[in-house]
Amino acid sequence: MHVDVGSIKTVTAAGLTQVDRDKIYQWINELSSPETRENALLELSKKRESVTDLAPMLWHSCGTIAALLQEIVNIYPSINPPTLTAHQSNRVCNALALLQCVASHVETRSAFLAAHIPLFLYPFLHTVSKTRPFEYLRLTSLGVIGALVKTDEQEVINFLLTTEIIPLCLRIMESGSELSKTVATFILQKILLDDTGLAYICQTYERFSHVAMILGKMVLQLSKEPSARLLKHVVRCYLRLSDNSRAREALRQCLPDQLKDTTFAQVLKDDSTTKRWLAQLVKNLQEGQVTDPRGIPLPPQ
């Protein structure tokens, strides 16, 4: 199968020389053949930042997305039992990088969601092996979902809420590497910042308590092994939860003490944004509380 070069030239990024364009077309064509696919994946993944319209080129060329999905499905047998090698991981992550490119682009994102392609990545997010090939696989898969939520598009949140992404992120937030935890928490933060996402998580006590429990564990862990970047996302999640009246009531009882005292003062000394969020969170939880004449908050009746 071959790319229709004539139709694709109209969507190629401005500024590429004819030689560059021809190489891109050649590599896209080579994705369709198992013999040439590995090198084509590597070369195209290197170009995904510089070729601004690579996503529509990939999406509209014949057989390309099927080839990328084949790369993903080929790895499934190596997940359980966990036998994934570094070579396999690197290869499939190059395919995932190209899917992230498609997920990020305004012209291809809706079709990417309509085809339910993110669901092909969820088996990777279910993995728990701590080896480097699996960690890299999880992190790159999270990157695809992160690229989707970064767009702040309502259709992205609506799609994700029909899937199991929240419990998958929560599990990684609890037990992943620091980098994976950071991306998973960012995804949860973006879901919470959407009104539909916030309402969904606060709709039942089970959903809210699961999120609150994992965030609480993360605060405890961060007090022992600080990470300013990860703490920033955790605080933002808490602050957003406090916008919901039912969640606010619950947080008055379960907000970790480490966020109320000076535990993180040193970590946040140069981070004015997170300090402001934390102060606003504490203020939100104090507002509306009934106090006795001595100014001591009374427990809710």
Q: Is the pLDDT assigned to residue 241 strictly greater than 50?
A: yes
Which positions ≥6 away from 225 have C-beta within 8 Å?
A: none
**How much is the average pLDDT of 177-181?**
97
**How much is the average pLDDT of 53-81?**
97
Residue 291 phi, psi (nearest 5): -120, 155
Let me know: does 32 contact 64? Beta carbons within 8 Å. Answer: yes
Q: What is the pLDDT of residue 35?
A: 96
Let me know: does 152 contact 190? Beta carbons within 8 Å. Answer: yes
Alpha helix locations (H) across 150-194?
Answer: 154-160, 165-175, 178-193
Domains and CATH numbers, the chain: 21-151 (1.25.10.10)
**How much is the average pLDDT of 244-253?**
96
Q: Is the pLDDT assigned to residue 169 strictly greater than 90?
A: yes
- Which structure tokens are listed for 122? 């969820």
pLDDT digit string (tens) for 129-166?
Answer: 999 999 999 999 999 999 999 999 999 999 999 999 99
pTM for this one? 0.89
Q: How far apart are alpha carbons 40 and 42 in whole angstroms?
A: 5
pLDDT digit string (tens) for 217-229?
Answer: 999 999 999 999 9
pLDDT digit string (tens) for 70-129?
Answer: 999 999 999 999 999 999 999 999 999 999 999 999 999 999 999 999 999 999 999 999
Q: Model confidence at 287, in pLDDT bands (50, 70, 90)? A: confident
